[in-house]
Structure 1
Amino acid sequence: MDASRFARGMTWDDYVTFTGSPENLAREGFDIRRFAKVRPRLDWSGYLRERHARARLTPEQTAAIRWLAAQPGGPAKVAVIAEEWSSDCRRDLPYLARLAEAGGLELRIFTRDGDTMLMRGLPDPTQGDGDLVCEYANHKNGQRWASIPVAVFFDRDFTELYRYVEYPAVYHKERIFGALRAARPGESEEQTSSRAGQGIAALLESPFPDVWAQAAIGEILGALHERRLTGSAG
Structure 2
Amino acid sequence: MAKSVVTPERFAKGMTFDEYVKYAGSPGNLAREAFGSYFPDGGSIGTARRDNSAVLRERYTKTRLSDQQVAAIKWLAAQPHGPAKILVVSEDWSSDCRRDVPALARLAEAGGLELRIFNRDGKKILGTRRPDPAAYPDGNHDIVLEFMNVKNGGEWASVPIVAIYTTDFQELHRYIEYPAIYHKDHVRGYQQSARPGETEAQTKERAQREFVAMQGSPFFDVWASAGIDEILGALYEKLTVKR
Q: Does structure 1 retain, via aligned residues, the 8 Å contact 2:92–2:98?
A: yes
| SS of corresponding position for 2:70 | helix
Q: Does structure 1 retain, via aligned residues, the 8 Å contact 2:45–2:127?
A: no
| SS of corresponding position for 1:196 | helix
- Structure 1 partner of 2:114: 106
Instruction: Give deviations 1:166-188, integer Å, cap 9, x for gaps.
Output: 10111000111111111011111
The gaps in structure 2 that reach 5 residues or longer are: 1-5, 38-43
Q: TM-score if structure 1 supplies the norm length?
A: 0.93
Separation in structure 2 between the aligned mates of residue 71 and residue 13 of structure 1, nearest angstrom: 28
Amino acid at match of 1:68: L
Q: Does 1:42 align with 2:42?
A: no
Separation in structure 1 between the aligned mates of residue 193 and residue 49 of structure 2, nearest angstrom: 26
Q: Does structure 2 retain, via aligned residues, the 8 Å contact 1:152–1:163?
A: yes
The 10-residue stretch of structure 1 (137-146 or 86-95) with the greater mean CA deviation from structure 2: 137-146
Separation in structure 2 between the aligned mates of residue 188 and residue 55 of structure 1, nearest angstrom: 38
Amino acid at match of 2:216: E
Separation in structure 2 between the aligned mates of residue 15 and residue 95 of structure 1, nearest angstrom: 14
- Structure 2 partner of 1:73: 81
- Structure 1 partner of 2:40: none
Q: Give aligned-pair identity as a percent.
A: 55
- Structure 1 partner of 2:130: 122
- Match among 168, 192, 201 for residue 203 of structure 2: 192
Q: Does structure 2 retain, via aligned residues, the 8 Å contact 1:26–1:39?
A: no
Dislocated runs of 4+, deviation >6 Å = none
The 10-residue stretch of structure 1 (118-127 or 211-220) with the greater mean CA deviation from structure 2: 118-127
Separation in structure 1 between the aligned mates of residue 199 and residue 150 of structure 2, nearest angstrom: 37
Q: Does structure 2 retain, via aligned residues, the 8 Å contact 1:17–1:45?
A: yes
Amino acid at match of 1:166: E
Separation in structure 1 between the aligned mates of residue 164 and residue 242 of structure 2, nearest angstrom: 14
Separation in structure 2 between the aligned mates of residue 190 and residue 164 of structure 1, nearest angstrom: 35
- Match among 213, 221, 226 for residue 210 of structure 1: 221
| SS of corresponding position for 2:128 | coil
Q: TM-score if structure 2 supplies the norm length?
A: 0.90
Residue-pair matches, total: 229
| SS of corresponding position for 2:159 | coil
- Match among 176, 185, 188 for residue 165 of structure 1: 176
Once the two structures are TM-superposed, the CA of residue 40 in structure 1 deviates from its matched residue by: 2.8
- Structure 2 partner of 1:143: 154
| SS of corresponding position for 1:56 | coil
Amino acid at match of 2:12: A
Instruction: Give deviations 1:114-165, integer Å, cap 9, x for gaps.
Output: 2222243222325231111112222234533211101100000100000011
Separation in structure 2 between the aligned mates of residue 211 and residue 43 of structure 1, nearest angstrom: 25
Once the two structures are TM-superposed, the CA of residue 58 in structure 1 deviates from its matched residue by: 0.3
- Match among 22, 32, 52 for residue 17 of structure 1: 22
Amino acid at match of 1:26: A
Separation in structure 2 between the aligned mates of residue 31 and residue 203 of structure 1, nearest angstrom: 19
CA RMSD of aligned residues (A): 1.6
- Match among 5, 12, 19 for residue 10 of structure 2: 5
| SS of corresponding position for 1:62 | helix
The 10-residue stretch of structure 1 (200-209 or 125-134) with the greater mean CA deviation from structure 2: 125-134
Q: Does structure 2 retain, via aligned residues, the 8 Å contact 1:12–1:107?
A: yes
